[in-house]
Structure 1
Amino acid sequence: MMDVGGAPAGARGMERRLGLSDAVVIGLGSMVGAGIFAALGPAADAAGSGLLLALGLASVVAYCNATSSARLAALYPESGGTYVYGRERLGEFWGYLAGWAFVVGKTASCAAMALTVGAYLWPGQAHAVAAVVALTAVNYAGVQKSVLLTRIVVCTVLAVLAAVVVAALGSADADAARLGIGPDVTVGGVLQAAGLLFFAFAGYARIATLGEEVRDPARTIPRAIPVALAITLAVYALVAVAVLAVLGPHGLAAATAPLSDAARAAGADWLVPVVRAGGAVAALGALLGLILGVSRTTLAMARDRHLPHALAAVHPRFGVPHRAELAVGAVVVLLAATADVREVIGFSSFGVLAYYAIANASAWTLSAEEGRPNRLVPLTGLAGCAALAFALPLGTVVTGAAVLVAGGVVHGLQRAISPRRTGS
């Protein structure tokens, strides 16, 4: 049963405070983050001179995913994103699997971003843990404070990226010939690179997961998602072209800090510490948005008792799912203290691609009256998600698939023990 605001009856307390610009900023804060500072090197190593092809492929899949998510979010403006869409369109199991993939995969992303903060500023896992604790406290104090901090982060990161682009393209060492496609390009390499780059695009779901805190969500969310994605695509394309122009695909593949190395190669040594600081700020912004999104999906799953029902509580003063935020923060702290950043990034990519595959399958079931996109959009998105997921390194695929199967087993046991337990 739904109330007039779009939230499930009995789940009041989440106030609709976010407008269009706020939603766009949250999406940008989640996408224009540490991924672009870290993912270009591994992607170039996989794709070689086909890096721009991989970026284009990742952007096509991201566009399809965003379009499907936006249409579904307009119809189901609730916290939870594809967990809700899968449940309503495909059945309870598929909604649960989407929520499981999102919470597990994005919790890993939170750890990756926390570790990136530590790597850029103060190497060591203790500082990554401190970053998680601090940002969990910001989220706990209310979503508007999170939006304000995200706005500051987005402006800072965009300024740093703009400085890198100007310095690289204005350098005497910039060479357009380095942008060409050579004989080293393979289909498998481009697909794997696109899967790695997708990690840097996957933040627009954060807008949909905040469905109960956005004003007029049926209009705001479908407008905010494509705007945030379009800005991100433009920024990433400019950055990729600029870095390739000064480093070339092989130099970029060997770079441990691609944007810092590009600034140095362009003769702008003064920019290197600025880029390092920008990378840390970007990771902080991504971590802030990730904690927001994961906690809202946790809230939705807890309402349906797929997770402990106590996590569905909304703070009476701050209007946020405070127990879910604290639980997510605690798990991320544990991962940040024990995990390796390369492992969690690969695992996160697989989970997120599974999540969007279910979003596209859900969008396929929409009728014309419900705002169905062109059938080619969810079909392309579903096929693209599957292709990119299984093009990831074999160890990542095996681990990711095992975790999804484990989630399915848990759901089956829940249903066997208490068949009427779920549902709000």
Structure 2
Amino acid sequence: MSDGSFGLTEAVSIALGGMIGGGIYAVLGVVAEITHAATWFAFVLAGIVTSCAAYSYVRLNELVGSEGDGGGGSVTFVQSFTGNSTLAGMIGWTLLFGYVGSMAMYAFAFAEFSVTLPAVPESIGGLALRPFVSVLVVAGFVALNLLGARATGSAENVLTSVKVLVLVAFGLAGVGYALTVSSDPVSVGASRFTTVSPIVAAAVSFVAFQGWQLLFYDQESVVDPLETIPKAIALSIPAAVSIYVLVAVVTYNLAPEAVQTNPHTALVDAASTMAGPVGLADAAAVVISLSALFSTGSAINATMFSAGYFAKGLLTDDLLPDRAGDASASGVPTRTLLILGAVTAAFTAYGSLSAITAFASLSFIVVFSGMSGLAVTQRASERITAIWPAVGVIGGTLSFALMLYHLYTAERGTFVTVILIAIAVFFVELLYFEREILEEEIPFLDRDSGPDVE
């Protein structure tokens, strides 16, 4: 792809497509389980904290760019403003695990919607079909990326337009149904506004708001990135929040029982309800299911591509072991893609949707809060107004704490799993990034057994 091939339209498509691409289909049910009719309010809260984090990213990117380094993402920001490669690497690993969690979440949702299609059984020979479909779709997109496939900017415009149009049409049709057919009052969950459940649900939904970050890792392909990226983010985040709010209100009010009993595919039931009076219930359900497959599949592919290049950047900076791939390879190293695919497949096969979503959201909360905190430290710059990064830090910290509390009290198994994974990842990171110190402190450690150190 030639330099500067993405204009504002393509940049908005990438950012909005990354958020709408699979998040609403995968996250809506999990969020609705926590806060019910106030699901839309949770998305608004998450959108506010995300906007503050995005402000921090934009301003830090401008500061790095003004120093002649061309801008960058989370890892570049930490390296530039702290000079701490260990901290930068740990942020990079956290973000990479967040991407893996996102792909696992999309693959889980892909399979959930697959088994809602006519003639597709939920099990074969007594074995649930969902895990097999999830693993197969991950394997398929790993193979596709190994072939070098990627949607161009123009194709991404089309893909995003289709996904957005389907969801907007769904939302508007639901509003029309509520106003003309349904006799029940529209519930907005006002009674929950004074409780912590919307904040907890907002924390869970952070994974659905991470797509805008992708722009910072492909700046060489964006026309005038320091001007185009802020505009694209300013347009895409409010648009994503608006669509999430519309879909959340419609789904909860048209399919309240489905939200309680089968929340992961409640959109299908809502579509059937609104199309029922005109005899198109089954057709509407199929359209939503196919749209979900299209959107989640597209999200897996885009995230796999971006995560692969992000990992390659970590390899180049010696922030990942050499065994994870060849940084000098053309495109994404094959071994890197295979590792990403294998870890994603394991997550999506053995995890629950709520556990995967919680893990990925916590990863992004840590990164978002960290970048907001980094922006606060740079508040002396004329480019940064400290209040917005401060809101990002406070909102992210509160969300992180409340989400852990919710998992501990309501989903103890998920809480234990997330904590164990976090501890394991932390110690692996320390073993890698502090390996020189460990080699000095532990004489019998084989210096040749680890990755090469310059």
Give the paired residue count: 408
Deviation at 1:246, TM superposition (A): 2.9
Aligned residues of 2:188 and 2:249 also touching (Cα < 8 A): no
Partner of residue 106, structure 1: 99
Is 1:237 the equivalent of 2:245?
Answer: yes
Does structure 1 retain, via aligned residues, the 8 Å contact 2:86–2:433? Answer: no
SS at match of 2:196: helix
- State the partner residue of 1:73: 61
Task: Decide whether the 8 Å contact of 1:74 with 1:221 is kept in 2.
Answer: no
Query: What CA distance in whole angstroms lies between the structure 1 residues aligned with 2:452 and 2:381?
Result: 29
Counterpart of 2:130 in structure 1 is 124
Shift of 1:58: 1.1
Q: Could you tell me which residue of structure 1 aligns to residue 435 of structure 2?
A: 417
Between the aligned partners of 1:423 and 1:381, the Cα distance in structure 2 is 36
- Counterparts in 2 of 1:240 and 1:342: CA distance versus 1, 3 Å: closer
Alignment of 1:256-271 (within 5 A): 256=263, 257-266=265-274, 267=276, 268-269=280-281, 270-271=283-284
Give the % identical residues: 24
Question: Equivalent residue for 2:378?
Answer: 366
The alpha-carbon deviation at position 354 of structure 1 amounts to 0.8
Paired residues of 2:111 and 2:131 also in contact (CA < 8 A): yes
| Contact 1:32/1:200, CA 8 A, preserved across alignment | yes
Cα drift, residue 39 of structure 1: 2.5
Structure 1 residue 107 displacement after superposition: 0.6
> Shift in Å at residue 60 of structure 1?
0.7
The question of 1:387 aligning with 2:398 is answered yes
Larger Rg: 2
1:235, distance to aligned residue in structure 2 (A): 1.5
How far apart, in 1, do the equivalents of 2:359 and 2:165 lie? Answer: 30
Output the TM-score relative to the length of structure 1.
0.84
Determine the C-alpha separation between the residues in 2 that align with 1:52 and 1:19: 31
Is 2:41 aligned against 1:28?
no
Question: Against the structure 1 CA distance between its residues 293 and 128, is the aligned structure 2 distance closer, same or farther, given a 3 Å change threshold?
Answer: same
2:320 — aligned with what? 307
**Partner amino acid, structure 2, of 1:306:** L
Q: Given residue 187 of structure 2, which amino acid in structure 1 is its aligned partner?
A: L
* 8 Å CA contact retained: 1:304, 1:423: no
Partner residue, 2:389: 378
Q: Name the structure 1 match of 2:185.
A: 177
Cα distance in 1 for residues equivalent to 2:266 and 2:429: 42
Deviation, structure 1 residue 138: 4.0
User: How far apart are the structure 2 equivalents of 1:170 and 1:23?
Assistant: 32
Q: What residue ranges of structure 1 are gaps of 5+ in the alignment?
A: 1-12
State whether residues 359 and 418 of structure 2, in contact with CA within 8 Å, keep that contact through their aligned partners in structure 1: yes
Mapped contact 1:50–1:185 kept (Cα < 8 A): yes
Which of residues 149, 160, 165 is equivalent to 2:166?
160
2-structure distance, mates of 1:254, 1:79: 47
Task: For residues 302-344 of structure 1, give each alpha carbon's deviation from its aligned partner in whole angstroms, at most 9, with x where no partner exists.
Answer: 122221236352544xx55555334323332343444433321
Task: Give the aligned partner of residue 327 of structure 1.
Answer: 339
Is the contact between residue 75 and residue 370 of structure 1 (CA under 8 Å) also seen in structure 2? no
Alignment counterpart, residue 274 of structure 1, candidates 284, 287, 292: 287
Describe the shift of the 1:361–1:409 C-alpha distance in structure 2 as closer, same or farther (beyond 3 A): same
Letter in 2 for 1:42: V
Partner of 2:200: 192
Question: In the alignment, what sits opposite 1:356?
Answer: 368
**Counterpart amino acid of 1:233?**
V
Query: Cα gap change, 1:214/1:175 in structure 2, threshold over 3 Å: closer, same or farther?
Result: farther
Letter of the aligned partner of 1:151 in structure 2?
A: N
2:39 is the alignment partner of 1:51: yes
**Structure 1: distance between partners of 2:71 and 2:167:** 32
Amino acid at match of 1:328: L
Cα deviation 1:136-182 (Å, max 9, x = unaligned): 34444557535455434322222221231132111134468323445
1:3: which partner in 2? none
Hey, what's the Cα distance between the residues in 1 that align with 2:390 and 2:306?
Answer: 25
Structure 1 CA distance for aligned equivalents of residues 153 and 92 of structure 2: 24
Q: Could you tell me whether the CA contact under 8 Å between 2:312 and 2:332 is conserved in 1?
A: no
Taking structure 1 as reference, are residues 337 and 14 closer, same or farther at Cα in structure 2, changes over 3 Å only? farther
Q: Structure 1's 183 and 24: CA in aligned 2 closer, same or farther, altered over 3 A? A: closer
- Under a length normalisation based on structure 2, what TM-score does the superposition of the two structures give? 0.79
How large is the RMSD of aligned CA atoms in angstroms?
3.2
- Equivalent position amino acid for 2:428 in 1: V
2-side partners of 1:103 and 1:79: how far apart? 19
Task: Select the residue among 85, 93, 96 that pairs with 1:92.
Answer: 85
Aligned AA for 1:288? N
